[in-house]
């Protein structure tokens, strides 16, 4: 068994790699812009500098690193980057994804896991009512806001085409807000700042009202889900919500203050709420892989302590 993790030094990617290495599984980190500082945390992995949108480079990676049996695909441009450069977004997010689907067929991979997104469900909870959004729910393009989200629709559609035509095992997960220490890019940097700033004694203002609701999952738990999905010999479904805990921003701030009393956390009450669904159900994945993400308060504590450790501060 041998894994390749594309985007392997990114926010989720390096934690997936660490998870696999801790299990004694060989890993190839494939990344267009390898973060060398992150690599220092991942001793023993192989490294390949590769652009997933370049099919020749993708083929070369498999040639130069023989024996790969599984892939967790995380190399993707986030929403703000897609809006800033749509052509590059299409090359990486669409062509790059198809290059990996083609590789799954050509290399006879045992499993390809990729992250879709909760933006698959559109930009609002309104089409679903006040209930958890489940995997069989769907909304039309009129409910979408992000080009990124529509790209995920096409990714999932194409994945199922490849699975049906070629019999390859491809599975998609739909993460909600993934939080933790070390996020460096994307449209949800507030999912870093809400806990990191208080952990370091700094005030933070979140760019939405206190009543905003979102579903949150700690990054290490998301990584564990991806690894378990890749390793399980057979799966019952194509798509899985990652799930997590649905809370208001006000409650989120209260959970931070549980560990950092007096944390200064404000809100932009005149701004709209986040253009995301509020409440994502995750029971299908819990049943499939027998893993329940940790309570949100414990994830926030882990996030805070990572930030404090990086700054040379004692844990809470």
Spell out the domain ranges in the chain.
3-178+218-243+284-289, 179-213+247-276+294-310
Band of pLDDT at residue 65, cut at 50, 70 and 90: very high
Q: Indicate if the pLDDT at residue 45 is higher than 80.
A: yes
Q: At the topology level of CATH, where does 179-213+247-276+294-310 sit?
A: UDP-galactose 4-epimerase; domain 1 (3.90.25)
Sign of CA dihedral 218, 220, 221, 227: positive
pLDDT (tens digit per residue) in 122-131: 999 999 999 9
Burial 106-119 (b: 16+ CB within 10 A, else e): ebebbbbbbbbbbb
How large is the average pLDDT for residues 197-224? 98
pLDDT (tens digit per residue) in 18-35: 999 999 999 999 999 888
Task: Specify the pLDDT at position 184.
Answer: 80
How large is the average pLDDT for residues 74-87? 90
Q: By C-alpha distance, which of 154, 150, 165, 176 is closest to 240?
A: 176
Band of pLDDT at residue 175, cut at 50, 70 and 90: very high
Task: Specify the pLDDT at position 187.
Answer: 74
Task: Specify the pLDDT at position 185.
Answer: 75
pLDDT (tens digit per residue) in 258-303: 999 999 999 999 999 999 999 999 999 999 999 999 999 999 999 9
* Other CB atoms within 10 A of residue 129 CB: 8
Q: What is the CATH number of domain 3-178+218-243+284-289?
A: 3.40.50.720
How large is the average pLDDT for residues 128-153? 94
Q: What is d(CA 154, CA 32) in angstroms, rounded to the nearest whole number?
A: 23
Q: Indicate if the pLDDT at residue 164 is higher than 80.
A: yes
Q: By C-alpha distance, which of 287, 280, 291 is closest to 120?
A: 280
- Residue 27 burial (CB < 10 Å; 0-12/13-18/19+)? buried
Q: By C-alpha distance, which of 99, 77, 97 is closest to 33?
A: 77
How large is the average pLDDT for residues 252-259? 98
How large is the average pLDDT for residues 106-132? 97
Task: Specify the pLDDT at position 77.
Answer: 86
Whether 3-178+218-243+284-289 and 179-213+247-276+294-310 share one fold: the answer is no
Q: Which tops the pLDDT comparison, 115 or 184?
A: 115
Question: CB–CB of 84/92 below 8 Å?
Answer: no
Task: Specify the pLDDT at position 188.
Answer: 86
Task: Specify the pLDDT at position 251.
Answer: 98
Task: Specify the pLDDT at position 79.
Answer: 83
């Amino acid at each position: 068994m041998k894994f390749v993790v594309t985007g392997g030094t990114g926010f989720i990617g390096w934690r997936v790699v660490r998870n696999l290495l801790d299990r004694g599984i060989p890993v190839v980190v494939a990344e267009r812009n390898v973060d060398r500082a992150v690599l220092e945390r991942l001793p023993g992995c192989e490294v390949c500098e590769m652009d997933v949108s370049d099919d020749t480079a993708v083929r070369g990676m498999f040639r130069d690193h023989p024996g790969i049996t599984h892939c967790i695909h995380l190399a993707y441009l986030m929403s703000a980057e897609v809006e800033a450069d749509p052509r590059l977004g299409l090359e990486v997010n669409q062509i790059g994804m198809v290059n990996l689907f083609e590789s799954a067929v050509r290399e006879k991979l045992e499993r390809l896991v990729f992250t879709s997104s909760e933006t698959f469900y559109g930009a609002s909870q309104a089409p679903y009512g006040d209930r958890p959004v489940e995997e069989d729910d769907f909304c039309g393009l009129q409910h979408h806001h992000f080009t990124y989200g529509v790209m995920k629709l096409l990714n999932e559609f194409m994945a199922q085409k490849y699975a049906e035509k070629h019999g390859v095992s491809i599975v998609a997960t739909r993460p909600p807000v993934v939080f933790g220490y070390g996020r460096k890019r994307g449209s949800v940097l507030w999912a870093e700042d809400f806990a990191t700033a208080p952990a370091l004694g700094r005030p933070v203002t979140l760019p939405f009202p206190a009543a905003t609701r979102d579903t949150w999952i700690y990054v290490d738990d998301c990584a564990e889900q991806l690894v378990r999905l890749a390793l399980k010999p057979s799966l019952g479904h194509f798509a899985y919500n990652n799930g997590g805990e649905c809370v208001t921003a006000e409650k989120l701030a209260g959970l931070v203050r549980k560990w950092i009393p007096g944390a200064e956390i404000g809100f932009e009450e005149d701004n709209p709420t986040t253009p995301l669904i509020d409440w994502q159900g995750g029971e299908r994945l819990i049943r499939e892989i027998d893993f329940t993400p940790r309570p949100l308060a414990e994830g926030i504590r882990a996030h805070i302590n990572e930030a404090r450790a990086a700054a040379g501060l004692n844990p809470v």
